[in-house]
Amino acid sequence: MTFQNSQPDQHHNFFSPDSLRAMIPYTLPLFIIIVLLISLFLFHNEIEKIVNDNALEDFNSMIVTNGFHTLSLPDGRHWQISYEENTLQVFSGEVRHNSAIHSGEFAILSQDILLTNGDFQDPSRVSIAVSNHHFTWRSEDGSQPQGSINLLHTLPMDQSIFQNLRQVEQGQYILIKGYEIDRIDGWDDAGNYIGYWQDSGCNTILVTEIFIGE
């Protein structure tokens, strides 16, 4: 006599109505994530330009003519530069601020660097703020500070100088040599005039040398 132990077949429904209903709250976020990933893949270059404001990252790609009076890029953007004078200028001091300019219209400008000497070096004597390529200062005790303060808008003459300028840290003592710029006129990659850059109370400078101390 043979005994057979038989059991009914069991069918597992992995997508039951209850499980589908449980997934509903996650469908919209998942859909958004998928769309974002696809957008990042398809529009990577455009997004990078928006984030960086078309800022120049390779200063060796500049096409220099007319003794650094005309600068252009391979994409067609170009600028005409006029200088305040033809003599080499020197700026030195302790750095209290360094930030990237990131201007699409004037991509050849790299950094805002605030150099200080005397009382302006001491945060307990003078408070300083830098915003939108301008600086303000306030004497903490109401007296007139002794020393100097200069906000430099830098145009590096090559990639090596750009990298050194970008690595400058607050508290370091640096010396910068170059030629002060009076005005920069710009044109976009289609040849349209986009306006001009001219500082007010600051110093825009073509940097030819930089020395970084401790």
Separation of CA 39 from chain center: 23
Question: Hey, what are 65's tokens?
Answer: 């003519």
Mean pLDDT of all residues in 74-87: 94
- Length in residues, the chain: 214
For the domain with range 55-212, which CATH number is right: 3.40.50.300, 3.20.20.70, 2.60.120.260, 2.40.50.140?
2.40.50.140
Q: If DSSP codes are grouped into helix, strand and coil, which group holds residue 194? A: strand
State pTM to two decimals. Answer: 0.75
- 32-65: per-residue pLDDT in tens? 788 777 866 665 544 444 444 567 889 999 999 9
CA distance 49 to 62: 18
pLDDT(89) > 50: yes
Would you list the domain boundaries of the chain?
17-51, 55-212
Q: How confident is the model at residue 104 (pLDDT cuts 50, 70, 90)?
A: confident
Rg (CA), the chain: 29
103, 110 contact by CB (below 8 A): no
